[in-house]
Structure 1
């Protein structure tokens, strides 16, 4: 069986050698992601997840499978839940691109508002607070203690993020959008000193976690580490809070759990994160506008990249035709966030 982006006959010999004892593989595309492609592999006894970059031309520094695999392997044994690292392949002769394999984690992935609506109000709150507690645990990990001291340059992270996403926009934009230029200029002008240095996930939201089926307040695995690095932990929090905006729905594939009004508000989540990490809640809330605005900027550029791949016919999966319509509202919401009205 051959799926778009996954030549199973070509994969099988490599997999047999890399995962001793494994049998003949079957595969299916796992929908939900909008960037790296994710497949479920099984030999009828065990199950794994294979991740590879998207089809088509890739942006520089994006979709680094080796970095993604390295952070997942390093976090094993910490109190940050991750899937077990199994193997990685950098040989283009196998699938044409680097890819990684991790163990399958059983649990519940809550992507849509309908799926969130199966939870009670108390369960939704427990889930939302559990997510920011896991984020806080990630930010408390000492990178040097797990071999990640050289995983990135925390100093100057915010300035590099502003420049990086502006450069990305220049490479992938399919139209002019003045609000992107305005948002970039304002972020560059108001960039604060870093509020700390930690491992940052880079794309933290509810559907990038696997929850315990019996208790949605327990995260069994944090997934999709393709944008992880070292940097300011509040950038993770700001993006997570920005994801509550319904403008993200087209990017996330429809009415999303992350944007549901049943989730606690931004201030409640920020205060819970502050309490979990020992920060001053009032000071944290007061200083979040820049980080939320940066989250919108990053997400708008990522959405434009997804839209550009769709226009080129390089998307695999459903819903990509709607993503381009989210870019302008996201940029406008980023400006509103900086104004304190978003």
Structure 2
């Protein structure tokens, strides 16, 4: 078994026109040799990621999901442009090799980037990667440090002032995700009315403006296979923008399932944050605030926001499945996950001192 992240056969309904893709790529990358073969990476639930293999080179292709989608939610050209502008100042961004707006090729915008060959820490670490408790802690700290480094990038010098509106981010997110959740409601979904009202009432001012990833997780980082403490890449920049760093951390902690969490949350775990040596959510917050220089503050709002935002994303994906816009069976049970996340939010609200 390989420790490297492996692609599999393309899912039903998500195949590509190999002839058109091959013809396009050999025009923009004329050094490519031999026939094109395509596989798909099984992770991720939004934009689709494919492994393109030629005799002399492997590439990664990113495209929006199939079916009717809002371009603003899956803007591949924006994602590609952000990556290209960010890479000189944050070298963990993969190199973009081509971006295509010609819909004759695939019926949508897409881009192609270099393949970073490495380990992606998904639900379980590969069995071949054996880390002690102390080593696991160090890996955990290294991953958090890369988020801190991103938040410290001078976005003005990088020419990235235009990727987001900046000030007023907290308010826009609460209003925006509330609106998106309501629009994605299905007959069997939970309302989240109490949670949305609490978030609207408790909104703090922005603590600052920086480049935020908006989907920063262990399964979006790539580790050096020769040295798993060395992070060689950060993936999935589709939601990157200018915003509040604590909102970004709140988003990350929504996926941070620790060892003592209840079985339902454990079932949703998609990264190895349960391992001995991994920081708890509370310890992550303390570490981040200590290194960032931001004031120590109650994190209740940001944690509840992160969980609600995750529920809204899940409901949007379930809405597509519910209405037959995708055949991806992974989404079939997402409505149950939404119900659980509402209960988790309500328990945190009950305990909150805000």
Would you say same fold, with TM above 0.5? yes
Counterpart CA distance in 2 for 1:216 and 1:318 is 32
Structure 2 alignment gaps of length 5 or more: 1-8
Confirm or deny: 8 A CA contact 1:111 1:258 kept in the other structure: yes
Deviation of residue 51 (structure 1)?
Answer: 0.5
Q: Deviations over 1:272-296 (max 9, x none)?
A: 222332334xx1xx33111111111
Specify which structure has the higher proportion of helix: 1
Moved more, 189-198 or 307-316: 307-316
- 1:232-260 CA distances to partner (integer Å, 9 max, x unpaired)? 01111111122123656666xxx532552
- Alignment length (residue pairs): 335
**Are residue 129 (structure 1) and residue 121 (structure 2) matched?**
no
Q: Do the aligned partners of residues 88 and 57 (structure 1) sit closer, same or farther apart at CA in structure 2, a change above 3 Å counting?
A: same
For 1:79 and 1:187, locate their aligned partners in 2 and report how far apart those are by CA, in whole Å. 32
Runs ≥4 residues deviating over 6 A: none
Q: Distance in 2 between matches of 1:261 and 1:156?
A: 37
In the alignment, the residues of structure 2 paired with residue 159 and residue 340 of structure 1 have an alpha-carbon distance, to the nearest angstrom, of: 23
2:6 is aligned to none
* Partner-residue secondary structure (3-state), 1:51: strand
Structure 2 distance, partners of 1:316, 1:133, is 38
| Counterpart mapping for 1:234-273 below 5 A | 234-245=246-257, 247=264, 255-260=269-274, 262=276, 263-273=278-288
Aligned-pair CA distance for 1:207: 0.3
Q: Which runs of 5+ in 1 are unaligned?
A: none
User: Could you say which residue in structure 2 is the equivalent of 1:15?
Assistant: 25
What SS does the corresponding residue of 2:309 show, helix, strand or coil?
helix
Aligned to 1:58: 69
**Distance in 2, Cα, partners of 1:19 & 1:248:** 45
- The two structures have a TM-score, normalised by structure 1, of 0.90
1:299 CA displacement: 0.3
Q: 1:6 maps to which residue?
A: 16
Note closer, same or farther for the CA distance 1:307–1:177 as it changes in structure 2 (3 Å cut). Answer: closer
> Are 1:93 and 2:104 counterparts?
yes
Give the Cα–Cα distance (whole angstroms) in 2 for the partners of residues 77 and 39 of structure 1: 25
